[in-house]
Amino acid sequence: MIVIENLTKRYGDLVAVNDVSFVARPGSVTGFLGPNGAGKSTAMRMMTGLTPPTAGRALVLGRPYKQLPNPGRHVGVMLDASAQHPGRTGREVLRLAAIQMGVGRAAVDASLDRVGLTSKEAGRRVRNYSLGMRQRLGLASALMGDPQVLILDEPANGLDPQGIHWMRGLLRGFADQGGTVLLSSHLLHEVQIIADELVMIGNGRIVAIGSKEELLDSHGTRVRSLDDTALHAALSAAGFGVRHDGTVLVAEATPEQVGRVALDARIVLTELRTSGSEGLEEMFLQLTAAHAREGSAA
């Protein structure tokens, strides 16, 4: 379990992380989301003892990370897959990690096999690895000590679709066996598939927190009909909030409630669904719009 209590980090007048509190529980994958510069990486560095907090605390398995005995045996961390010695082979990187954790050489082979790196690939210098291979190597190191908790920053970065599918299964299986996963990623569709809980921050503050289902359901039901004007009026008359979102109506109601209103009003629906594959992305953009870094379109 990871418990974050009022975590704050200031750099002079800049508040990078501002009074953040949440819990990542065993048996679940928690998606930790936010735009660039929102404070995600700083928060994760505080969780893993790399950056001291200005205020608040981060507990991993009931203790600050630095107080864990042999932390690699309890917490698997991957914050920057590119931060690996380029002159060493993948196997050498893992052997050093195994020595530090006090695990045998068999753990190296087991970790390589677990992340799908072949013996030939493990013998290559890290400088010759693709980004996706470095991600697999980083995951192998994080999993080496058979930890109870994983803290991962952008683990799918550089993976191809097959690799992303593999990673999804790996992390889902880890959580289903009772592990705790805290996952930061810009691949919102993948987070939507795998995450149980979501924590979204903007400008260092939490802007949304809760189960994936609660947050996406609260985002509304998307609906189209043969007469959207009449449906809008019927939903409003029934007491549901409703807005027009470009091409569809978004109602603050469940699909069943929207369907019943349409049936009573004898309006034919042509589309009815909760937030689909774009649901998390849409919610993310709306909640973090004030904190996003944008450029002009060419």
Predicted confidence (pLDDT) per residue in 193-230, tens digit: 899 999 999 889 998 898 887 777 666 788 999 999 99
Listed in sequence order, the residues at least 6 apart from 162 whose beta carbon sits closer than 8 Å to its beta carbon are none
Q: Are 131 and 164 in contact (CB under 8 A)?
A: no
Q: Give me the mean pLDDT over the 3-16 stretch.
A: 95
Residue with the bigger pLDDT between 188 and 269: it is 269
Amino acid (one-letter) located at 124: R
Residue 261 scores a pLDDT above 90: yes
Q: Are 104 and 129 in contact (CB under 8 A)?
A: no
Residue 295 scores a pLDDT above 50: no
Among 203, 153, 183, CA closest to 15? 203
What pLDDT was estimated at residue 221? 84
Which tokens go with 85? Answer: 């010695």
Amino acid (one-letter) located at 223: V
Q: Give me the mean pLDDT over the 30-34 stretch.
A: 92
Domains delineated in the chain: 2-211 (3.40.50.300), 220-274 (no CATH)
* 3-state secondary structure (DSSP) of residue 185: coil
Distance from the Cα of residue 287 to its chain's centroid: 16
User: Exposed, middle or buried by CB within 10 Å (0-12, 13-18, 19+), for 262?
Assistant: buried
Q: What is the dihedral of CA 153, 157, 163, 169, to 10 degrees?
A: 20
Residue with the bigger pLDDT between 248 and 142: it is 142
Residue 278 scores a pLDDT above 70: no
Cα 19–Cα 13–Cα 203 angle in degrees, nearest 5: 45
- Name the pTM for this structure: 0.79
Backbone angles phi, psi at 109, to 5 degrees: -65, -40
